[in-house]
């Protein structure tokens, strides 16, 4: 961190890197290898000459996901107080509960039971172990990346084929509402009411984490957001921030 902070004096244009990566097999969430390599090339070219740092960066195949999560969170939050739409502006889970915030009600968390992640686990005996939706990386999928880019990311789609709905390549048109320059004009930003009206919501690509706390990451899969999931949300009433 300090090394990067000392090295950079000018920003990096992230959109061209993301767009190139989507045309070369990345989905922006479960698969970010192409973008990670492009980003590291830029970082190294800016003066990161330390061999240990270079080895670390080039070995971090998910490096770009850090950037896509930050950008996605900013893009979602930019919709706050937009009166003419009901964009989902924050989203995440803790393995037990899934929650979101709406542009029309910033600061108010709506929560429900975390949906299951369906996918391939490393060992058959671990099939029943995964936690539900976990972490804050779902912002990537809700902005229009990840499971919404499977029409481009053929390898990601192939790996999850058995767990995807038949309309996985086109369903994003039902609930993504705004063309985004960051996505080269592809639609982004998930509309709450459209998900409810069409019963079609984001496909969230996530790692599967062992609920017993013994095995860590045990696989990868997809969680499907449905109208029923959103209709089961209830306002979080507790005074603490723990959900």
Give the tens place of pLDDT for each residue, 147-161: 999 999 999 999 999
Quote the pLDDT of residue 6. Answer: 84
pLDDT, greater one: 122 or 183: 183
pLDDT, greater one: 166 or 215: 166
Q: Using one digit for the tens of pLDDT, what is the confidence trace for 33-61?
A: 999 999 999 999 988 888 999 999 999 99
Task: Tell me what the mean pLDDT of segment 195-216 comes to.
Answer: 93
Quote the pLDDT of residue 40. Answer: 95
According to DSSP, the β-strands at 88-94 and 134-135 are antiparallel
Quote the pLDDT of residue 76. Answer: 96
For residue 242, pLDDT over 70 is answered with: no
Quote the pLDDT of residue 230. Answer: 97
Q: Using one digit for the tens of pLDDT, what is the confidence trace for 70-117?
A: 999 999 999 987 766 789 999 999 999 999 999 999 999 999 999 999
What is the rounded average pLDDT for all residues in the chain?
92
pTM for the full predicted model: 0.93
């Amino acid at each position: 961190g300090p090394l990067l902070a000392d090295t950079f004096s000018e920003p990096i244009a992230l959109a061209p890197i993301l767009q190139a990566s989507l045309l070369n097999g990345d989905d922006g969430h479960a698969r970010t290898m192409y973008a990670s390599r492009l980003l590291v090339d830029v970082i190294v070219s800016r003066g990161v000459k330390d061999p240990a740092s270079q080895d670390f960066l080039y070995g971090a195949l998910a490096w770009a996901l850090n950037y896509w999560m930050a950008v996605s969170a900013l893009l979602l939050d930019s919709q706050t107080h937009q009166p003419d739409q009901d964009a989902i502006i924050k989203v995440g889970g803790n393995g037990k509960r899934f929650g979101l915030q709406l542009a029309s009600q910033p600061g108010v968390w709506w929560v429900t039971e975390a949906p299951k992640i369906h996918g391939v686990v490393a060992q058959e005996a671990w099939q029943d172990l995964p936690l539900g939706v976990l972490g804050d990386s779902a912002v990537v999928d809700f902005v229009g990346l990840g499971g919404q880019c499977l029409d481009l990311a053929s390898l990601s789609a192939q790996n999850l084929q058995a767990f995807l709905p038949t309309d996985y390549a086109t369903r994003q048109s039902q609930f993504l509402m705004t063309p985004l320059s960051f996505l080269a004009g592809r639609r982004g930003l998930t509309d709450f009411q459209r998900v409810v009206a069409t019963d079609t919501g984001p496909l969230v690509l996530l790692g599967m984490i062992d609920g017993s706390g013994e095995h860590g990451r045990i696989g990868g899969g997809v969680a499907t957001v449905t109208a029923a999931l959103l209709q089961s949300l209830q306002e979080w009433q507790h005074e603490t921030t723990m959900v």
